[in-house]
Structure 1
């Protein structure tokens, strides 16, 4: 089993939730852990964990899946291959923090979004939320057969994103809705393949709303 290296930021007091960040191609957990700098003040009982992908890239940084075109069917195979390592990491973090599996949220960027969607929809216990920036869904043709849980999903995409065109976000939301997932997409003008302050605010609101709903209604 692949062991993932990770950065962690635990709350000073009570821990109620775990957010796991999944970075983009050629990046690392440290890059997405920067999101916690913006969110921590409003998420005082949230633990953040940001693992590095298992494979180093030739350009530096790490990857979860291969650097392939979004339409390449091998992306689905790559996601299937990495799933056990990420699930094991998540389960170990939940155990370390003494949290139930329903107290998890996954946050991805680019191929990290692809990976977060793949993992989140196939866990035995639905995460509280899956939030994805600048990324989409792979293996749509397998989703109806594969899906094990239906966490709420929010996808945020820049309208000027050339690496992950906003069209892919709309396709993903439609596919998710067709299998009973409550999914929403938000296209942001004047934003490319990046996350800006507005995207972070939207993401924080979505996570806090999902946490409140899960706390009130249970898994």
Structure 2
């Protein structure tokens, strides 16, 4: 598996106290999500942002990248994919934390679609839970043949999780959001959630606002809407 890298935004304050890692969807690259960091910098002035490009070229999008191939013809490809891409992403996260001399507890993972699958898979398995996992239009991937009880076996503490999904998503149907939310609950990992009415496979303004507020709360910062 190739090493990964991608665009970065330095903390607005000049000193990193948190790290936010963006994980893009299938067929995109890190440039697709780093703009979210621009939107949230005023609320998270001490956060360093990085959006790594997934390791492999996307077979369906000539200029895009993928964390793992998806044909949607084999239900086992999800688990096979996240376990394939997980170690490389985990190593990248550790390198970025070391780059900023930050402890693992000051990490937030933000993923969209396939990137949300990666954020949930890796974030729930790190030795030190992240401060936050934010998943847009994604899916919690369970081990082949296993139910939520498999998550309970590895659970140390439950990191704050927010799932956001459009109710008109025709790529990752909203039913997958309900499956993920219920599976997390069954594994005793509570999550917050928001459904964006009328939204397809994307992130709208309200989802962006909810995500930014969730990150500030998870990092123990004052609500920007009260200042």
TM-score by length of 2: 0.89
Per-residue CA deviation, residues 44-98 of structure 1 (Å, 9 max, x unaligned), is 0000010000010131210112223297122111101111100110000000101
SS in 2 for 1:51: coil
The counterpart of 1:110, out of the listed 108, 113, 133, is 113
Aligned match of 1:84? 87
Question: Structure 2 CA distance, aligned partners of 1:71 and 1:34?
Answer: 33
Aligned match of 2:175? 167
Q: Say how many residue pairs are matched.
A: 213
Question: Structure 1 CA distance, aligned partners of 2:126 and 2:169?
Answer: 30
Per-residue CA deviation, residues 182-217 of structure 1 (Å, 9 max, x unaligned), is 21221110100011111100100111111118xxxx
Name which of structure 1's ranges 124-133 and 169-178 shifts more when overlaid on structure 2.
169-178
Aligned match of 1:96? 99
- Give, in angstroms, the shift of residue 9 of structure 1: 0.9
Question: Structure 1 CA distance, aligned partners of 2:80 and 2:136?
Answer: 21
Aligned match of 2:9? 9
- Give, in angstroms, the shift of residue 167 of structure 1: 1.4
**Aligned 8 A contact 1:122 1:149 in 2:** no
Per-residue CA deviation, residues 113-138 of structure 1 (Å, 9 max, x unaligned), is 01100000000000000000011111
The counterpart of 1:150, out of the listed 158, 176, 179, is 158
Name which of structure 1's ranges 67-76 and 14-23 shifts more when overlaid on structure 2.
67-76
Write the mapping of 1:59-70 to structure 2, written as runs, cut at 5 A.
Answer: 59=61, 60-69=63-72
Per-residue CA deviation, residues 139-182 of structure 1 (Å, 9 max, x unaligned), is 15242334455211111000100111111111111111222212
RMSD between aligned residues: 1.6
- Give, in angstroms, the shift of residue 105 of structure 1: 0.3
Higher helix proportion (structure 1 or 2): 1
SS in 1 for 2:42: helix
Instruction: Flag the 1:16–1:126 CA change in 2: closer, same or farther, 3 A.
Output: same
TM-score by length of 1: 0.92
Name which of structure 1's ranges 175-184 and 44-53 shifts more when overlaid on structure 2.
175-184
Per-residue CA deviation, residues 16-56 of structure 1 (Å, 9 max, x unaligned), is 10000000000000110011121111110000010000010
Name which of structure 1's ranges 161-170 and 143-152 shifts more when overlaid on structure 2.
143-152
Question: Structure 1 CA distance, aligned partners of 2:190 and 2:182?
Answer: 10
**Aligned 8 A contact 1:110 1:135 in 2:** yes
SS in 2 for 1:105: strand
Check if 1:177 corresponds to 2:185: yes
